Amino acid sequence: MVYALIDKYYHDSPELHALLLRHSEQVRDRALRIIDAHPEMKIDREFVAQAAMLHDIGIIYCDAPKIFCHGDHKYIEHGWLGAELLRKEGLPLHARVAERHTGSGITAEQVLRDELPIPVQDYCPETIEEKLICYADKFYSKSHLDEELSWQKVRTSIWRYGHDAVLRFDAMHEMFESTTITDNNNNTIHGK
Ligand SMILES: [Fe+2]
């Protein structure tokens, strides 16, 4: 389902299509590793696998030529634009993930304070699945696809969204990766 949906909107943009798939699979795979490490959390694995693939589907409407996006909108709009698309496609829960994954979430106060070009509302992840995808996304940059960021680097980058944003990131880190987990090759991804 998710690959067909991505193809529907990205088939005319092969470079962006490939980039979106690569990034989304990185996010999905990290999220699934965390789920597998925490069966007690009872996270909806199938939903996370789908929603992680679709969280950035709005980037095609944005202007970010370095990552092959040639739309008219500001990049920060990709969350809510992706959500609009997903609601139109009959996927309201996936839409919530798309609009709540930027930074560690964005509050309505922050939208007003920073005059962000998005509708004024709260965009903080609420469900555990929304939090997990928002969290896993922070470790992968679409402009440096081969890089996996350390949590210290992610935390530093979150400071630009303000102190509250760092606290939200710390809470998600504590929830999901406060103990050591490993990747498919048994390398340590993170240990606290
Ligand atoms: Fe992303």
Query: For residue range 71-95, what is the model confidence (pLDDT) as tens digits?
Result: 999 999 999 999 999 999 999 999 9
Residues 6+ apart with CB under 8 A from 155: 166, 169, 170, 173
Q: Separation of 112 CA from ligand 1 center, angstroms?
A: 23
In this structure, the number of other CB atoms found within 10 A of the CB of residue 166 comes to: 18
Please tell me the pTM assigned to this model. 0.91
For the chain, what is the domain count?
1
Q: Separation of 137 CA from ligand 1 center, angstroms?
A: 5
Q: Is residue 72 part of a domain?
A: yes
pLDDT in tens, 52-66: 999 999 999 999 999
Q: Separation of 134 CA from ligand 1 center, angstroms?
A: 8
Q: Is residue 34 part of a domain?
A: yes
Q: Separation of 118 CA from ligand 1 center, angstroms?
A: 18
Q: Residue 13 pLDDT more than 60? A: yes
Rounded to 10 deg, the angle between the 92-99 and 45-54 helix axes is: 60
Instruction: Determine contact, residues 158/138, Cβ cutoff 8 Å.
Output: yes
Q: Separation of 180 CA from ligand 1 center, angstroms?
A: 23
Q: Separation of 179 CA from ligand 1 center, angstroms?
A: 24
Q: Residue 192 pLDDT more than 50? A: no
Q: Is residue 171 part of a domain?
A: no
Q: Is residue 41 part of a domain?
A: yes
Q: Is residue 153 part of a domain?
A: no
Task: Look up the CATH number of the domain holding residue 108.
Answer: 1.10.3210
Q: Is residue 142 part of a domain?
A: yes
pLDDT in tens, 20-53: 999 999 999 999 999 999 999 999 999 999 999 9
Q: Is residue 173 part of a domain?
A: no
Could you list the residue range(s) of the whole structural domain that residue 37 is in? Answer: 2-148
